[in-house]
Amino acid sequence: MIETLSIHNIALIDELELELTSGLNIFTGETGAGKSVILKAIGLVLGERASADIVREGAEFAKVEASVAPDDTHPMWHTDFAFSDVLDPSDVVILSRQISAKGRSRCHVNGRLVNLKQLQALGTLLVDIHGQHEHQSLFRTETHLKLLDDFGGSSETCQQVRQIYTELRVLQREAASLADTLAASEREKELLEFEIKELSVADLAEGEDEKLADEARLLKNAEMLHASANMAYQQLGSDGSGMGGFGSPLERLEGAAKELTKLSELDSSLSELQDRLESVIYEVEDIAAQLHQYADTVEFNQGRLDEITDRLALIAKLKRRYGNTISEILDYHAEAEQKLETIQLGSEKQEAIQAEIHKTVQEAQRLCTALSAKRVHVAKHLSERIEKELRTLGMDKAEFQASVQLMPDDRGAFQIDGKRYAFRSDGMDDVEFLIAPNVGSEARPIARIASGGEISRIMLALKTVLVQVDEVPTLLFDEIDSGIGGKVADVVGKKLKELSAFSQVICITHLPQIARFADKQFRVEKKVVGERTLITAKALTEEEQVDEIARMYGGETTEIGLAHARELLTDSS
C-alpha cells in the first residue's frame, strides 16, 4: 500500500504531504479543485510520461515521493530489477520522481538512481490506476491471461507449462549449438577420415624406418659383402691358399701348436702357452666358419630393394604430413581417431537431443491443450460473473467476453489438425478481455473504449470478481462515478468498500453515495494565498466528513443535510 505521498511544485500544488490508510481512501472536492492533479502526481511517481509544463510556474523542478509497504509475499520482492539489492521486505520502499523545468526526469528507488522503465516496472506491480490513464493494468493484454488463470486456479498447470517450456528452450539451444559445431566440423570430419584411412593403410610400426634403412643398406652392398666375406674366409682358411707360401693363418697356427706340444713335453712350463694357442685356433676356426656361412647368406634382391625404397618413400611422405618420427605419426593417428569419434558421437547426440525435443514437445502440447480447454471453460464462467457485476454497476446491456484464441504460427512448435501454433512460457493461447457496452455494438478490446467511467466500472467488476487472486496491493479509481447516480452509485460505493478489505483503494469521486464509505476522506480545494492560487488537500475529521457529505448532496450544509449525512455515514460503517 501507499503509506505517504509527498508532492512538491506540481501544477498549482506548492507542497503537499498526505498519509493514506490501508482501506478506502476517498478524494472529494468541487469540480476543478485539483483532484486530477493529485492523481497525476501518483501516476508520475509510478512512471507515467511527464512534460515540463507539469512543473509549477517559477519552480526549478517538481518532485513526487511515495512510500509503499508491500507485504513480504508480494511479487516485487522476487523480481530481477537492477536495484533489487536495495529492496528489503522488512523496509518501506521509497519511490521518487523529479522533473526539471526543462523536462528532464530523474527516478530513484530507496535513494538508488534508476531509469524510467525500471520505475514503471515496479510501479506496475504496486498500483493499478483505472480511468483515462495509461498506467492501468486493464489496458495491458498480457495481464488478462494471468487474471484468467488466477481466477481458474490454474497456477499448478501454468507452473508445469513454464517448466517444460524452459526445458524445451534448453534442449533447443543445445541442439542449435551442437548443429553449429557439427556444421563447422563436417569439413574437418572429411579430412580426418582421409587421414585416418591413409595412416591405417600405411600400418606403420615403431622403429620400422630404421630397420628398413639398415636392410636397404645391406641390399645395396650385397656383392661387396659377399666378396669380402669370402676373401676373409679364404685368408683364414686351411686350404693352402695363404700368402707367402707358408699356408693359411690357421695352418700356421696348427703347425705352431704341434711344435709347442713337443716343447711342453720336455718343459712343462710351456703347457699354459699350449692351452692358450689351442684356444686361439678354436676361435679362428669359428670365425672362419661364420664368415663362410655369412657369405652364403648374402644375396642381392632387386625386388626387395625396390619394395623397401617405396616403403621408405611412403614413410618420408607421412613424416612431412604428420610428424618428424614414426612415433609422432602414430600419436597423430590416435588423436585423429579420437577427434573423429567425438564428431561421430556429436551426431549421435544430436539425434538423441532431437528425439528428446520431440518427446518434450508432445508432453508440452498435451499440457497446453489441457490448459487451453480449461481456459475456455473458465473464460465462459468469468464472463458470466463479470456481466452480472456490470449489471449491478449500471451497465445493464454490456456484454463482456474473455476471448481465448490459439496463436497461429507457421513455425510454431505445436501442430493441431494440420495447422501450427506457437508455444510460449504461458501456453499456446492469446487471452484478451473484450467488451460491447451497448446492445448491437461489436465486442472490442477494453483499451479502445473511450469512457473513463465505463473503464473504471469494468475494472471494478473485474476486481470484485478477482479480488482473492489479484496481487496488486493498491487500486486507484478515477471517473468511476461518470454517468451514474442513485442506486448504482450506492452499489459502486459498497463494492469499493468490499475491495478495500483486500487491497488499498484510492478513489476520486463527486458522489456522496460513494464518498460515505471512505475509511479516510480527503477534501481537495483551491485557495488563493497572497497573489497565488494553490491546491490543498486535507484529511477530514468525522465532523468535517459530515460537512463534506452534506455539501456533496445539496451544496449547502443545512441541519437537514447534516442529519442526512450523519445517517448515511452511520449506515455505511
CA atoms within 13 A on the CB side of 411: 0
Q: Determine contact, residues 443/433, Cβ cutoff 8 Å.
A: no
**Tell me, what's the pLDDT at 506?**
92
CA angle 483, 486, 491 (to 5 degrees): 90
CA 447 from chain centre, in angstroms, equals 31
Rounded distance, CA 284 to CA 529, Å?
Answer: 142
User: Which pTM value belongs to this model?
Assistant: 0.62
Higher-pLDDT residue of 317, 138 = 317
Question: HSE (CB half, 13 Å, CA atoms) of 281?
Answer: 17
Cell of residue 511, nine digits: 458522489
Kind of pairing between the strands at 504-508 and 24-28: parallel
CB 514 within 8 A of CB 496: yes
What torsion, rounded to 10 degrees, do the Cα atoms 533, 534, 537, 542 define? -40
The pLDDT value recorded for residue 297 is 63
Which amino acid is present at 214?
D
Q: What is the mean pLDDT of the chain?
A: 82
End-to-end CA distance of the chain: 22
In the chain, pLDDT over 90 holds for what percent of residues?
A: 28
How confident is the model at residue 82, as a pLDDT?
Answer: 47
- Encode pLDDT of 17-62 as tens digits: 999 999 999 999 988 888 889 988 998 998 888 888 899 988 999 9
Residue 191 CA to residue 343 CA, distance in Å, equals 12
> Are 180 and 305 spatial neighbours (Cβ–Cβ below 8 Å)?
no
Q: What per-residue confidence (pLDDT) applies to 518? A: 93
pLDDT(232) > 80 = no
Contact 121, 444 (CB under 8 A): no
**What pLDDT does 227 receive?**
54
pLDDT per position as a tens digit, 383-434? 999 999 888 888 888 899 999 999 999 988 999 988 999 999 999 999 999 9
pLDDT tens string 95-145:
999 999 988 999 998 888 888 888 888 888 788 776 554 445 667 788 889
Which of 125-134, 174-183, 238-247 shows the lowest per-residue confidence on average (mean pLDDT)? 238-247
Residue whose cell numbers read 500544488: 13
Q: Where are the alpha helices (DSSP H) in 268-325?
A: 271-297, 302-322
